[in-house]
Structure 1
């Protein structure tokens, strides 16, 4: 089967996730700029999560552009990824409303870690379907950036119990690593 329905479904789920995240922010009752101060952590957490959802959407789109066909394993792997991404609104809301305390920051990191594992599983299923010599197989066979991300997410989750702000810095650094989609995929698509 072609990738169109999978992409459309995933796009819809990601749009709903972003909508739910923004609904987690509520405007203050007061009309002064000073009243915005208490919700700054909520906004910053939303901003980070929005960027992450954008990164996943972008990389997911690029991945599927290089895929010829999908099978049941790819569909289930994609659902696994969407499940973990669907937890972003909860983790975002909890961390933001609790001013980056240790437990919410650790859960946020764990959700980031599991979403990355799920993306890696999706890539694995695609490679298994397309073959190791396919464009995706060659691109992702030894992806150091993906493995480094997994390590950093897990480290950030552990560090959050000691220095939550350092964890946030780690999460932001990983987002910066992924902000630009893998140029190898774009090159492979053009060929």
Structure 2
């Protein structure tokens, strides 16, 4: 059976996920996660795109990615293949690091854009890793709660949906969902 063709157009925004093969770890330590983010920056210089949010869990990733001129398959293929080679070399492993194809859901509305951002940032809380999302070091959440720079993301679009001060309103938006889930 042929694979379903993924819809793409310049400016398309996606919720991209990628899981470790057999749900195993794709990050053993902080250095692995930092390397993944650094590789993302390098790939972005070759295939320009905008990262709105991310979360690097131990066995999977979430990216909220906006394309510019390239289909996300080129971005993800380059990023995941480079990272898998690095990971296998560093940890003296062989074989597949990732399970199958990356997942992608096209984001076509402002409402869904914000829901995806919230979902990504609450992922470590839902997994009972941290009590509040900004405490998770390998997520873009903390950069949204306070006016601080994160070299991997562009907060402009996300914060444009909130009145001044947008960081505080975004934080309330996330915390309201968190409280509803208790």
Same fold (TM over 0.5): no
The structure where helix makes up a greater share of residues is 1
The structure where strand makes up a greater share of residues is 2
TM-score (ref. length: structure 1):
0.28
User: Is the radius of gyration larger for structure 1 or structure 2?
Assistant: 1
TM-score (ref. length: structure 2):
0.29
